[in-house]
């Protein structure tokens, strides 16, 4: 197995001319291992779709190159690339049966009738479309249409499968079940995949690696857990999950941890970034589940509960600090903890190991 099966090298795309040039993708580098599913995630306009379309060959890069299995794609037109795309709107032919929709690409490739039949039937079985071959797309549900679209891509045996927000036309419940199906199938077939979404939950649950993009740049590449626990900057921390941001000063640096001064109290956090020094101003990223309201004592940062909501399995608090910052706090298993209501004074215990400290951004 090669380390990088799909590689983007210095890939760049700008649109328009000098006067109103948009740099949609700005010199990005990415390596995807064989069999991995990688999602491109980021806010609208960050360059996800443009990147996907360059891999497929629908957009010609302004600079850089795409390599698949070690081969440069620059001179290879889209229909000759070893890629297949699953589209948001399914893009099925309305007057063809499900079978013929799936068979379409194989027929263009002039494969024999026997081969076409064998491959299409195999893939229909794999995806659970066995009894739907004679139907037309309008006789299928949205979820079934999306499965046909997936079958049509997979039957071509591409080296890299590309997904362009494939679930955005489905309702919320179907989105969740279909994304699990996609993930299971992708792992079973072992196909290298690039998946574009702006839904962070989708990205976190589907991916081996998540690529966070913003304004044409890759901000971070990592496993869902790495991205959540160790975001490289404020943008990533705020984009993935909920985060409280606290400005603090480094009191001392120990081998494995930082001691921080925050509102006159000491907070300990793991020393993840080795460049942070004593005296530095830093930003603590505290996830809502990393803070626990307790009865006040002189070692804990003080706050006042401004809102508390009981959810059974969870208690949600908003706690105002003396500097008027309001923190979002989530307590799991509330029956094991004191319950506070609006107006209560609390002391805030920070769960050391789940805090993440970033250098202050200039
Ligand atoms: N054909 C085009 N001509 C001009 N500008 C374009 C074109 N396609 C995309 N852009 C611009 O490039 C930038 C990146 O667009 P892109 O579609 O890749 O973003 P995206 O992250 O996929 O966003 P979304 O989630 O909204 O689809 C945007 O500023 C967009 O307006």
Tell me the CATH number at 318: 2.40.50.140
Q: Which of 189, 221, 236 is the last residue of a domain?
A: 236
Residue 1: band (very low, low, confident or very high) from pLDDT cuts 50, 70, 90 = very low
Find, among 270, 262, 279, the residue nearest to 348 by Cα.
262
In the chain, the percentage of residues whose pLDDT exceeds 70 is 99
Residue 51 alpha carbon to ligand 1 centre in Å = 10
How remote is the CA of residue 27 from the centroid of ligand 1, in Å? 16
Kindly state the average pLDDT of the residues 119-145: 91
- For ligand 1, is residue 215 a contact (CB within 6 Å)? no
Pair 13, 80 in one domain: yes
Gap from CA of 197 to ligand 1 centroid (Å): 13
Angle at 131 between CA 125 and CA 132, to 5 degrees: 100
Cβ of 21 less than 6 Å from ligand 1: no
Q: Is residue 63 situated within a structural domain? A: yes
Question: pLDDT-based confidence at 244, cuts 50/70/90?
Answer: very high
Longest dimension (CA), the chain: 80
Q: What is the mean pLDDT of the chain?
A: 93
Quote the CA–CA distance of 123 and 91 in Å, as a whole number.
Answer: 18
Asked if residue 41 lies in contact with residue 197, where contact means CB atoms within 8 angstroms, the answer is yes
Q: Does one domain contain both 289 and 156?
A: no
Decide: helix, strand or coil at residue 343: coil
Q: What is the pLDDT of residue 353?
A: 85
| Distance from residue 45's CA to the centre of ligand 1 (Å) | 5
Residues 121 and 175 in one domain: yes
What pLDDT score was predicted for residue 3? 60
Q: Which tens digit of pLDDT belongs to each residue from 250-283? A: 999 999 999 999 999 999 999 998 999 999 999 9
Name the residue with higher pLDDT: 155 or 362.
155
Query: Does residue 73 share a domain with residue 163?
Result: yes
The CA distance from 151 to 172, in Å, is 22
Ligand 1, pocket-test mutation among 22, 198, 199, 203, most atoms within 8 A of CB: 22
Residues 143 and 277 in one domain: no
pLDDT tier, 68 (very low <50, low <70, confident <90, very high otherwise): very high
Domain count of the chain?
A: 2
The residue with tokens 């390596």 is 31
- pLDDT band (50, 70, 90) for residue 178: confident
Distance of CA 9 to the CA centre of its chain: 21
Average pLDDT over residues 207-226: 97
Q: Is the pLDDT of residue 151 over 90?
A: yes
Do 178 and 52 share a structural domain?
yes
Pocket test for ligand 1, best of 17, 47, 87 (most atoms within 8 A of CB): 47
Q: Is residue 1 part of a domain?
A: no
Report the alpha-carbon distance of residue 353 to residue 337 in Å, rounded.
19
Domain that holds residue 331: 242-359
Ligand 1 atom having least distance to the Cα of 49: 22
Q: Name beta bridge partners: 305.
A: 319
CA 13 to ligand 1: nearest atom: 12
Residues 155 and 261: their CA atoms lie apart, in Å, by 59
Judge whether 13 and 64 are in contact, CB under 8 Å.
Answer: no
Each residue of 30-49: pLDDT tens digit?
999 999 999 999 999 999 99
| 11 ligand 1 Cβ < 6 A | no
Lowest mean pLDDT among 84-88, 99-103, 221-225, 319-323: 84-88
Same domain? 33 vs 161: yes
Is residue 229 located within the same domain as residue 258?
no
Same-domain check for residues 16 and 71: yes
**Euclidean distance between CA atoms 77 and 144, whole angstroms:** 30
Determine whether the shortest distance from the Cβ of 293 to ligand 1 is under 6 A: no
Other Cβ atoms less than 10 A from the Cβ of 355: the count is 24
What's the rounded Cα separation, in Å, for the pair 223 and 52? 20
- Looking at the structure, do residues 178 and 320 belong to the same domain, yes or no? no
Task: Tell whether 270 and 219 lie within a shared domain.
Answer: no
Indicate if the pLDDT at residue 175 is higher than 50. yes
Atom 22 in ligand 1: residue holding the nearest Cα: 49
Domain assignment present for residue 33? The answer is yes
Alpha carbon distance 4, 69 (integer Å): 8
* Distances, alpha carbon 8 to alpha carbons 25, 28, 31, 218, 222, in Å: 11, 7, 6, 12, 16
Ligand 1 pocket, 182 CB below 6 A? no
Q: Which of 170, 204, 236 is the last residue of a domain?
A: 236
The residue contributing the CA closest to ligand 1 atom 26 is 44
List, in sequence order, every residue forming a beta bridge with 206; answer none if it has no partner.
none
Residues 250 and 168 in one domain: no
Protein residue closest via CA to atom 4 of ligand 1? 15
């Amino acid at each position: 197995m090669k380390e990088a099966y799909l590689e983007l090298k210095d890939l760049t795309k700008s649109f328009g001319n000098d006067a109103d040039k948009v740099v949609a993708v700005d010199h990005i580098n990415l390596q995807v291992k064989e069999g991995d599913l990688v999602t491109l995630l980021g806010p609208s306009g960050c360059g996800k779709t443009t990147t996907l379309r360059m891999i497929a060959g629908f957009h010609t890069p302004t600079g850089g190159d795409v390599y698949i299995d070690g081969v440069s794609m620059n001179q290879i037109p889209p229909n000759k690339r070893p890629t297949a795309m699953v589209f948001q709107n399914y893009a099925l032919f309305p007057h063809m049966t499900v079978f013929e929709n799936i068979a379409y690409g194989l027929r263009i490739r002039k494969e024999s009738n026997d081969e076409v039949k064998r491959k299409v039937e195999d893939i229909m079985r794999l995806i659970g479309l066995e009894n739907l071959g004679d139907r037309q797309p309008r006789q299928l549900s949205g979820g079934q249409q999306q499965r046909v679209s997936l079958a049509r891509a997979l039957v071509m045996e591409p080296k890299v499968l590309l997904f362009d927000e494939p679930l955005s036309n489905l309702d919320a419940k179907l989105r969740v079940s279909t994304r699990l199906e996609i993930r299971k199938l992708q792992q079973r077939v072992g196909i290298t995949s690039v998946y574009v979404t702006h839904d962070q939950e989708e990205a976190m649950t589907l991916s081996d690696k998540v690529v966070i993009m913003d304004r044409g740049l890759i901000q971070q590449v990592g496993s869902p857990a790495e991205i959540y626990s160790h975001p490289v900057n404020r943008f990533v921390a705020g984009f993935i999950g909920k985060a409280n941001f606290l400005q603090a000063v480094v009191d001392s640096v120990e081998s494995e941890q930082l001691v921080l001064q925050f509102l006159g109290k000491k907070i300990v956090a793991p020393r993840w970034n080795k460049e942070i020094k004593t005296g530095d101003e830093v930003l603590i990223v505290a996830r809502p589940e990393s803070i626990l309201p307790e009865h006040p004592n002189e070692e804990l940062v003080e706050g006042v509960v401004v809102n508390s909501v009981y959810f059974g399995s969870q208690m949600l608090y908003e706690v105002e600090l003396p500097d008027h910052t309001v923190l979002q706090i989530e307590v799991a298993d509330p029956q094991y903890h004191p319950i506070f209501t609006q107006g209560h004074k609390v002391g805030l215990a920070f769960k050391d190991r789940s805090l993440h400290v970033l250098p202050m951004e200039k």
